Amino acid sequence: MDLFSPQAAPAEWLVIATGLAALAATVPRRIWLVARNAITIAHEGGHALVALACRRRLMAIRLHSDTSGLTVTRGRPTGLGVVLTLAAGYTAAPLLGLGGAALLGAGLVAVLLWAATALLLAVLVMVRNAYGILSVVLTGALFVLVSWLAAPEVQALFAYAVVWFLLLGGVRPPFELQRKRRHGGAPDSDADQLSRLTHVPAGVWLAFFHTVSLSCLIGGATWLLGR
């Protein structure tokens, strides 16, 4: 299939079914603890991409088995660049989901799959620990296999499930961070670092993360359902 050839959307009930499948990977804690690795890849990839866009030097990305991650950059310790870099983590998965929903709304399934593969390859180049390499390689291999071997109908269902997961899975981490902070945890979270840099309360940054993720979910769902 030509990369830029629009593909007809699956039946609405199939689109809804992929959304329910993504929801099933997001809500139950045991499944989420595994599936969240994909959100962490997006989170750290968001930090890395914006850091490069802001001309910061990207040193390393680390992904851990507890689904935490770390992106190390070098540059000015203050200023707009570092603020944007820190703000990009929790917003990355929802915004990627929204972009993916826009592509699917235009029928560009193949573009979405290969763009996701390219982004995963870019992240892989900077990962510096074994678990992180394994996580990205397995995720990327899944995208390559579906892109090369699956029928167009299967590719479309896979793409819809991935986008739904980014949208739905992007909503949960800010709530998890909010709960940790309520119990005195995560003192060096993105929200707390942003608070120290900007003198804006961490709670305001959390509200920003919530606003972005929920807005992307609403907008993305509208595109996915063709409304």
| Residue 123 belongs to some domain of the structure | yes
- Considering the entire predicted model, what is its pTM? 0.95
89-140 residue pLDDT tens: 999 999 999 999 999 999 999 999 999 999 999 999 999 999 999 999 999 9
Would you state the pLDDT for residue 4?
Answer: 80
> Looking at the 3D structure of the chain, how many domains does it have?
1
Would you state the pLDDT for residue 2?
Answer: 67
| Residue 6 belongs to some domain of the structure | no
| Residue 57 belongs to some domain of the structure | yes
Would you state the pLDDT for residue 186?
Answer: 86
| Residue 85 belongs to some domain of the structure | yes
38-62 residue pLDDT tens: 999 999 999 999 999 999 999 999 9
| Residue 165 belongs to some domain of the structure | yes
Beta bridge partners of 72: 60
154/132 Cα distance (integer angstroms): 28
Structural domain for 162, as ranges: 12-224
| Residue 105 belongs to some domain of the structure | yes
Q: How confident is the model at residue 3 (pLDDT cuts 50, 70, 90)?
A: confident
Would you state the pLDDT for residue 48?
Answer: 97
| Residue 146 belongs to some domain of the structure | yes
| Residue 211 belongs to some domain of the structure | yes
